[in-house]
Structure 1
Amino acid sequence: MRATHFKKVGTGSNKRQEKLIVHIKNRWRTILQLIRSIGNMIGYKKSLSEWQCLSEVKMGRGSPIPPMLQRKIVEQYQKGVSQRKIAKSLKLSSSTVHNIIQRFRESGTISVRKGQGLKTILDAHDLQALRRHCITYRNATVMEITTWAQEYFQKTLSVNTIHRAIRCCRLKLYRSEKKPYLNMIQKHRRFLWAKAHLKWTVAKWKTVLWSDESKFGVLFGKLGRHVIRTKEDKDNPSCYQPASLMLWGCMSACGMGSLHIWKGTINAERYIQVLEQHMLPCRHCLFQGRPCIFQHDNARPHTASITTSWLRRRRIRVLKWPAWSPDLSPIENIWCITKRKMRQRRLKTVEQLEACIR
């Protein structure tokens, strides 16, 4: 009868697993020993000689001296050892040993005295004055505030110092708030208007006389119109747009019309005067008596009853316009180009702005 031999299954794989486990344990034991040595070195639990043996590398420039090493320096100094020998035995610089001993002579301890370090240029009283100035002149640039601070405090101040001081006053440079965005009803009305005028030809669009008012402001900063305020002063009236002028203008595919500078508030009576003095002559000059369509937005002076009746008596056809839709008018591109060129001139007063426009 043939003998049956049973082969052991998995003996080779078990040996490999055992070797792997032993290797992992050895590596883990080595890592634990390294962690203990680093912890002892950081915590200074071992003696000074052991600590020096563990860390043969010299400490870098500016590294703090361990308290145990400082006590060792003081002990050797009290025993009468010279500073040069102490520095040589502990592998430290002579200046470091001298500073520690000098501190021990003056205060009797090795701890650092309070109040050491770089003093602030602006104290609390100066920060209050700076905060009042920033709130009063919210549209001033940081460079202008720096110039004022140097003259007011009689100190040499940089732009970065004023930046940090403004942040210490809990102020920040924000962009001025603009008009709110469109809501769903206004978006739907814009869509219906675009759908109604979808089949207009180019020739018909050339018969439109575009008109609009635009505000030209002063005190432009490097990154646009900014205001210095706190986060809570978002709706403060002094944080709105700076001093400005309101202009009325018109244009068509035939050419440009005239400009009119508004002074004071705009109402329906004054708007009708502008239409009589500027719009009608421009209409006659551009279209030479041909029929045209007049366009203006839905501002209150434009939609007032006396304005609509005046347009009806003059038999002026008005293009219906959706609310909050200045981007649909091509005259906005003219305003944008004009403002970009005027922004480069850095106009600071309303008089300079008016002279530049004229």
Structure 2
Amino acid sequence: MTRINTSDTDKAQIIAWRQEKVPIKTICDRTKQCKRTIMTILSAAKNLPSGSIPLTKPRSGRLKVTSKNTDMLLKREVTKNPRLTASELKISYPELLGKVSVRTVQHRLQKDLGLPCHMAAQKPLLTARMVKQRLEFANFYKHWTPEQWEKVMWSDESNFSIVHRGRVRVRRPIGSDRFSPAYTQKTVKHSQHVMVWGCFSGFLERGRIYFLPKNVTMNSDKYITCLEEKLLETYLIHESEMFMQDKAPCHTSKKVMKYLDDHHINVMQWCGNSPDLNPIENAWKIMKSKIRRACVSSLDELKEEIKRVWIREMTPEYFKNLAHSMPKRIQMVIEKKGQMTKY
């Protein structure tokens, strides 16, 4: 059996069972301890007064260089400021940690205190006003059913680059060259990219996508052209009842809002800085992951790959599931009191 440290409570229970004439094998099965351990505990208990528990013998090995109070101090400081590093903690408390290595501080935090280091999730900065708007939005739509969310036409823009800029994890053998081409990620200063506008509904899967010309950013006029070419017909075909767009200035200008009103497009009142509430953001992320594996080398190839993934790999079921995720997103915003969620 695997060796397990026996607590004082377990020792007392073993002694009590044996006094009740419970067989040794049964005690072994109940405690997951080997027979030798049980017999050692019972033998030691015979020479002790009634009700006493055998003490654990001191074990070999170096004593811990940090005390319980020091460990609690480390936990308190990291809980207060999760961005503190082991080196910064060591510098902050020279009297307590002066003779303690940085590696030992890291071990205490990770193994003993259950505070391993993770990459911080990147989320938009929310002002108090934005948090309030998000909470109001969630409370307003908290009773909507998945079928009602299917009738919303979701939209957004996203940049697709030829060279991926995010961090990539690789597995390499111990002792291998970290800078070998096989284990490095190639970067460029100004990667070519294209901005794409797209839309979808949970009722009739994906809508249409629109490519902005090279070196052109979205403005009110371009956005109206995009809506005229790609949205109006799609909105009718999908039998949508509401149009979702974020609060980018080119989306909410008077000219654009008048255009949408003239064409009887019911615009959802959106809350700023809330990509976690827009399910099309998840679609963009999946598409970028698929396109990155294609290893495109020009803008024309990039555009063709975007079209291919959008049409062939983004299934109707996927878009329906995105629309149906809205009740969970809304509930999570309420639980987080307006703060960012995992989406």
The two structures have a TM-score, normalised by structure 1, of: 0.43
Relative contact order: is structure 1 or structure 2 higher (C-alpha 8 Å, sep ≥ 6)?
2
Greater Rg, structure 1 or structure 2? 1
